[in-house]
Structure formats: structure tokens, C-alpha cells
Amino acid sequence: MKIRVDDITDKPRLLTFEEPYDAFPALASIHKIGQSEFLSPITVELTVVREYGHIRVKGEVSVGMRFACSRCLALFDSVLRSDFTVFYTEGNHFDSDEDEVELAEEDLVSVSFEGEEIDFSHEVAEQVIMEMPLKPLCGDDCRGLCSTCGADLNEGDCGCESASFNLKFNALKNFKVEK
């Protein structure tokens, strides 16, 4: 996912890519540890344009993924989508001699590049990772697993007696004070 800098003009250029997850090292490591499963290639659509002293890239990333619910452990499929804008500037645009630098809004989404090509791979992988849920849920109404028997409460009540006391004080259940 590279483009030559000389090919970027002041007229917007549309680029589309479809890459497997293992073309991105960060996404391949996520898949390898079993955190999630990629069901489709990563689809990327970028609009690249040169404006003023930078290159603006407006993009959309989407990918189908399979997660394990953090409450009930059921597998479910989801499509992650992310819209983003990144400004590329040539070289390091921050002066390293200054202790404090005030960042403009543009600087918060700015990336430096050097050379004759810009590689979008890192930013695309970053967008997918930022869209991944920290605690995936199969649904907002997921009831999870019973803490006593481990039954899936989404399929119905398990019949276990609900604890009417706090488990923290379970050790004090038979404690008696002598007078």
C-alpha cells in the first residue's frame, strides 16, 4: 500500500486496496495470539490529495472479524469500519530544540514521511486496532455465564440458587462470638 509522492497532485486521487490481514504485522500478531479472527480481507479506500505544505489522506477501512463474547464466551461476527484523515508532511516538522511545542489540531493527525514513497500500511493497521472492542459483547443484553455452574444465562435460567449474601463474607458464615 504505497504511493509515489511525485504521483500525488492537487487533484484528489482515489486508491482502493484489498489486502489479507497477514500483510500487516500488527494484525497478524493479534490473529496469532487468538484475540480475534479475521473473516475477510482488509478493504481500504483512500482519497489522496496534495494541499498547501502537506498531503491529505482521507480513508475508510473495513474488515469482517469474529470475536468471543467477554460475558458468555459465544463466538460472534462483526464488521469493523473506520473513517479517518491523516496529514503527511515531509521530514520531521517539529523542532527538537524546543522544550514545549503547541500542537494544532492538524498535528494530532499528522505523520512524517521521508523518501519518494508513502506507505499507508501502518495507519491502516492502526485504524483496525483502534476499532477493535476491548471487551467484545455479542449483544448489549448479554447475560453472561452463571458464576456457580457456568451455564449460559442467555439460553435461560440455570436453576442455581441465587446467593442472597455477599460472597466476600462467605468465610464469616459460621463465625460465632463467645460471650
Segment 78-112, tens digit of pLDDT: 999 999 999 988 876 554 555 665 655 555 567 88
- Three-class secondary structure of residue 155 per DSSP: helix
Residue 57: CB atoms within 10 A of its CB come to 22
Domain count, the chain: 1
Residue 159 maps to a domain: no
Residue 178 maps to a domain: no
Residue 168 maps to a domain: no
User: Whole domain around residue 81: which residue ranges?
Assistant: 2-141
Q: Model's pTM, two decimal places?
A: 0.75
Residue 160 maps to a domain: no
Residue 119 maps to a domain: yes
Q: What is the distance in angstroms between the CA of the first residue and the CA of the last residue of the chain?
A: 79
Residue 36 maps to a domain: yes
> Cell numbers 503527511 label which residue?
88
pLDDT of 53-75, one tens digit each?
Answer: 889 999 999 999 999 999 999 99
